[in-house]
Structure 1
């Protein structure tokens, strides 16, 4: 088993367990619960099989849905993020991200932060639109996207650094 596959398996399980058993139990100001499992989707290697990536992202969201009883909202938001990630990578890293054999774990912190912010924005808007599913709740959707998004970005950067970020020097 190669080290990339092992790293992905460990990251998948660790982020899932962290989300379910730690982050879901923490609520700041009564409703802000950071969503950290999407760091797996952001950090997934660019050069791996796209179909397995989409399936893993869906499965990750589905497992979180099972524990949070959110009826598929996390699965849909995770799959959407996985589907649009190539567009986000192109926006953040430019046209040549595929030919340069991009390693997100070795990219500069500001690039990762931009990718994470865009990913969190896409994920959280879809998630809270599906959870509230009512046009009269649009302010609630935006509020949750902003506040939970900020906490998710903060925790995502902390995890990125803890997972062994190494900037190209």
Structure 2
């Protein structure tokens, strides 16, 4: 979706959903390698010099702590699936994941502390667009309760 350019600079990043939806009982090392590969592919095509890869790996490392924060004891007992939980928890987890990913990404892309307002503007505006598009996708694929 890097060709959307809503308002001239907002491009939703929905590839964060891969990291968001990856099953947490699977191999952690494989997950790190896949996240790095996803970021590296995006860096290759968008010429961002490793910013996508660093943001993806950071989110992959932080994700268990976010899951523990949002789901508490259910995460420790490994008896949850993200898509089967309530929309409020999905939204909170997605909000945290997108914010951390975008903050790392735009910090590395801008890499100038004198432009902190630009960094925050990009993080928030692209983050909001990413959350809206991602929540729409998640609500479309979320299984219905019978």
User: In structure 2, how many angstroms separate the alpha carbons of the residues matched to 1:123 and 1:88?
Assistant: 12
Q: 2:120 aligns with which of 139, 142, 158?
A: 142
Query: Do the aligned partners of 2:43 and 2:53 also contact (CA within 8 Å) in 1?
Result: yes
Q: Which residue in the other structure is 2:15 paired with?
A: 37
Q: Deviation digits for residues 5-26 of structure 1, max 9, x if unmatched?
A: xxxxxxxxxxxxxxxxxx1110
Go from structure 1 to structure 2 and tell me whether the alpha carbon gap of 1:168 and 1:53 turns closer, same or farther (over 3 Å shift): farther
**What corresponds to 2:52 in structure 1?**
74
Number of the residue aligned with 2:143: 166
Does structure 1 residue 115 correspond to structure 2 residue 93? Answer: yes
Deviations 1:45-78 (A, max 9, x none): 0111101111111111111111110000000000
In 1, are the aligned partners of 2:25 and 2:78 still within 8 Å (CA)? no
Q: Which has the higher contact order (CA 8 A, sep 6+)?
A: 2
TM-score of the aligned structures, taking structure 1 as reference length? 0.83
Task: Tell me if 1:53 matches 2:31.
Answer: yes
Query: In the alignment, what sits opposite 1:83?
Result: 61
> How far apart are residue 167 of structure 1 and its match?
5.7
**Any unmatched runs of 5+ in structure 2?**
none
Q: Cα distance 1:61–1:127, how it changes in 2: closer, same or farther (>3 A)?
A: same
Matches within 5 A, 1:118-137: 118-137=96-115
- SS of residue in 2 equivalent to 1:33: coil
- C-alpha deviations, 1:82-125, integer Å up to 9, x for none? 00000000111013313142211211111111000000010000
CA–CA distance in structure 2, aligned partners of residues 36 and 79 of structure 1: 16
Question: What SS class does the counterpart of residue 10 from structure 2 fall into?
Answer: coil
